[in-house]
Structure 1
């Protein structure tokens, strides 16, 4: 199954933009309503203004059930955990771990 059909998958968040993939029309509409714009590769992007804005975007994405990728080095999961440790984020969040291009686990 393609996780993009039912979830938001956060693909970038640490730099000057947030990038999210989804094929779920309801979730896509939610992203657009908060300022995300879709590009030619079907990725939803939002410019991040500052650290407070990034925290606000993370909070909204968690509320929408977004999946933050785990992985080596500085993954999106680790970025959100960093904010949890700082007590800037106080919500449980979901993580996606990829086993292979078609296999994944959500926790």
Structure 2
């Protein structure tokens, strides 16, 4: 199983956010994986194992909303998180044009 997964939901549309670009990077900026969300707004990325440390997911929210002709305050959302010893991390994002929420999922 890939170490990091995400699920992006568009709160305004009440549906999964399809086709959103997401990048995983280490604390020093090294690219570790990238991709786009599927028809259910889900994406798995990165190596099978991440060493303990700090990482971030950068979600391209600007292009997602621009493709739908919706103004947004956030051109991208960056979620910084720490890997300790969990074998799998799920980092969901609830998204709207002018706000977002995230948490450590299971």
What's the TM-score, normalizing by structure 2?
0.29
Higher relative contact order (CA 8 A, sep 6+): 2
What's the TM-score, normalizing by structure 1?
0.29
